[in-house]
Amino acid sequence: MTQALILKLLRLVCTSVSGLGRQKKLFILIYHQVMDQPDFMRPWEIDKAAFSWQMALLAKYFNVLPLHDALENIANDSLPSRAICITFDDGYANNVTNALPILMVHKLPAIFFIASGYLDGGRMWNDSVIEGIRTLTTPTLDLTAMGLTSYDIGTPDKKADAAVEIIRQIKHLQPDVRSKYADHIASLAKTMPDDLMMSSEQLVQLHASGMEIGGHTVTHPILATLTPDAVKQEVIDNKIALETLLNTSIRYFAYPNGKPDQDYLQDQVSIIKACGYDAALSTQAGVTQKYQDRWQLSRFTPWDNNPIRFMLRIVMMYAFNRL
């Protein structure tokens, strides 16, 4: 496809978005990592180059707002057309090293939801699985003795598939059981990275750059697997840790993993309210409108590796509430 045709189609798509702008809907986008370059073990993660063109498109064709402003605008019926918020979950260091400079270039605000227990050298269990398998040189990974199966990891693609499958199989286990699998895989690796997540210093830098910081629990558990007291502890301890470090109020919360009735339960929503938050975000795909539950705001990832499909996904979500 020629560059001219691409631009023509893009203009058409953006005109459509413009026309839909009167409906007063808010898109809240989710990102996790912004890699230095495409990574075969994390094909779902965006890299710097793609993030850069995505942000250029958002800056040019949309009204990118701080979450706080967007929610106030929704409440008082003053949301601008084509309103978008940008969010990041978990607290990866490359949010600061890669995403922040690009956001600053385009003067785009964003909110970063941080799992505070992994600051300063921590590693999430799913990253232990991915990074452990990355380094293995055996053709298979045999986890039958641990109740799973034997995985073919003979090629880069098979390694990536095995990591995704193992993560899917253990994701909803109790946190301590899940950690046993992740720690075992990490123990097979020669070296494991300890710099995937932000340092406290990087988080302070991110906040000082004008970005908002939100809560995402201490250890990123699936809340649905926890008792009410354990949920409260995770949420409160995370909020206090972030508020103490940043000397600011932490106003918004993102549910770990975030699927309603699967990763968190409806009767756990009241715990988040009671912990002093102003609103909370799920990962249920959708757009936000005035009468949507403020405690389970929808988000979505319009990931695609070309600008036209990226824009089309946003238009589809806007018009039909599906990707």
Span of 65-73, 199-207, 248-256, 263-271 interacting with Zn ion by CB under 5 A: 248-256
Among 106, 124, 111, residue whose Cα is nearest residue 246: 111
Nearer to Zn ion, 256 or 307 (CB): 256
Nearer Cβ to Zn ion (125/181): 125
Size of site (CB under 5 A) for Zn ion: 3
Q: Which is nearer to Zn ion, 89 or 131 (CB)?
A: 89
Judged by beta carbon, residue 141 or residue 241, the one nearer Zn ion is 241
Closest approach, Cβ 72 to Zn ion, in A, equals: 25
- Of 45, 47, 90, 127, the residue at the interface with Zn ion (CB under 5 A) is 90
Q: How far is the CB of 77 from Zn ion (least distance, A)?
A: 32
In the complex with Zn ion, the residue whose CB is nearer, 47 or 127, is 127
Q: Tell which one of 89, 212, 234, 263 touches Zn ion (CB under 5 A).
A: 89
Q: What is the closest distance, in whole angstroms, from the C-beta atom of residue 214 to Zn ion in the complex?
A: 11
Placement of tokens 């968190």 in the chain = 264
69 CB-near residues (< 8 Å, 6+ apart)? none
Closest approach of Cβ 271 to Zn ion, in Å? 18
Find the part of the chain contacting Zn ion (CB under 5 A) among 72-80, 87-95, 200-208, 314-322: 87-95
Contact in structure between 317 and 287 (CB atoms under 8 Å): yes
- Under 8 Å between Cβ of 238 and 215: yes
Does 45 engage in binding with Zn ion (CB under 5 A)? no
In the complex, least distance from residue 318 CB atom to Zn ion, rounded to whole angstroms: 25
Residues numbered 253-272 forming contacts with Zn ion, rule: CB under 5 A: 256
Neighbours of 4 (CB within 10 A): 8
Question: Which among 257, 255, 123, 258 has a CA at the least distance from the CA of 189?
Answer: 123
In the bound state, the residue with its beta carbon closest to Zn ion is 89
Q: Which stretch binds Zn ion (CB under 5 A): 76-84, 189-197, 249-257, 284-292?
A: 249-257
- Is-contact 92 33, C-beta < 8 A? yes
Q: How far is the CB of 90 from Zn ion (least distance, A)?
A: 4
Sort residue 276 into left (φ over 0), alpha (ψ -120 to 50) or beta. left
Q: Which is nearer to Zn ion, 89 or 127 (CB)?
A: 89
Beta-carbon contacts of 175 under 8 Å, excluding residues fewer than 6 positions away, are 125, 219, 221, 222, 225
Q: Compute the least distance from the CB of residue 257 to Zn ion, in Å.
A: 6
Query: C-beta of 117: minimal distance to Zn ion in Å?
Result: 12
Closest CB to Zn ion among residues 111, 312: 111
Q: For residue 255, give the nearest of 265, 241, 245 by alpha carbon.
A: 265
Q: Strand 150-152 vs strand 212-215: parallel, antiparallel, or unpaired?
A: unpaired
Which range of residues in 10-18, 51-59, 90-98, 132-140 is near Zn ion by CB under 5 A? 90-98
Other CB atoms within 10 Å distance of the CB of residue 66: 17
Burial class (CB in 10 A: 0-12, 13-18, 19+), 191: exposed
Q: Which is nearer to Zn ion, 158 or 259 (CB)?
A: 259
CB closer to Zn ion out of 92 and 295: 92
Which residues contact Zn ion by CB under 5 A? 89-90, 256
